[in-house]
Amino acid sequence: MARLVLTQHLIDRYLSGRTFERVSAKKDIDNPDQRIAEDVRTFTSTLLSFVVMLTNAALTTVAFAGVLWSITPLLLVAAVLYAALGSVFTILLGYRLVALNNLQLTKEADLRYELIHVRERGALVNVRATSQSARRVRGRLRRVIRNSRATIGVARNVGFFISGYNYLVQILPILIVTPLYLRGTIQFGVVTQSAMAFSQLLGAFSLIVAQFQSISAFATVIRRLGLLWEEMDATDKDFGIVMGAA
């Protein structure tokens, strides 16, 4: 339903007045048709999944924060600090993904456009034109692959960090509560309970770490739709000024 409403709204604005001509002439608003059709779909579906994840994270925090605090406040403090540090390092390693994802969408759309252009011309092209079209298609494909390799490189580094981050999740609560067990302050069952609660709570705190690639893709879509929306607003404003002057 959200996709229907947003897509219809953008289509109406895109086709009204001179918006279509102005947006098409803007070099920084590439492939507006893709933004309206595919980016809106990605935006609405991803937003819904994030709402569900945030709700689950809030419920998990309420359920397990008190458990960790009752065992030792240090467990709760460690979970918060570890998740914060993990989020910061993940962002530092993967901040380029937003720009790379944006470029990837643009280059993929350019490749599709070139292929559609070849198909539409069909039998009207001669041998020379066909050769030129083939070179353009291969050139666009090379740009797609080159950007894709850069994206994979950044995602690989983020993935390695997340793997190490997840391994330490199992170790940290044991290191914190083991001295308490050795002193006889807590029972052995509390050690396993703390590890389970720590893991659950840290999962709630680590949404940025766990979902960073989805978040970066979501940020890319928001950026693309935002630029399109701003250009439409500018067109409406200019059109209103012209009408007022008339």
pLDDT of residue 161: 92
Look up the domain containing 178 and give its range: 33-223
Residue 218: inside a domain: yes
pLDDT of residue 120: 65
Residue 133: inside a domain: yes
Residue 244: inside a domain: no
Residue 241: inside a domain: no
Residue 5: inside a domain: no
pLDDT of residue 244: 44
Q: Which two tokens stand for residue 107?
A: 């280059």
pLDDT along the chain (246 residues), means of 10: 83 76 70 80 89 92 90 91 93 88 83 74 56 79 90 91 88 88 84 88 89 87 85 69 44
Residue 236: inside a domain: no
DSSP of 14-66: HTSTTHHHHHHH-TTS--HHHIIIIIHHHHHHHHHHHHHHHHHHHHHHHHHHH
Residue 51: inside a domain: yes
pLDDT of residue 220: 86
Burial of residue 10 (CB within 10 Å: 0-12, 13-18, 19+) is buried
Residue 235: inside a domain: no
Please report, for the domain that includes residue 126, its CATH number.
1.20.1560.10
DSSP of 179-195: HHHHTTSS-HHHHHHHH
Domain count across the chain: 1
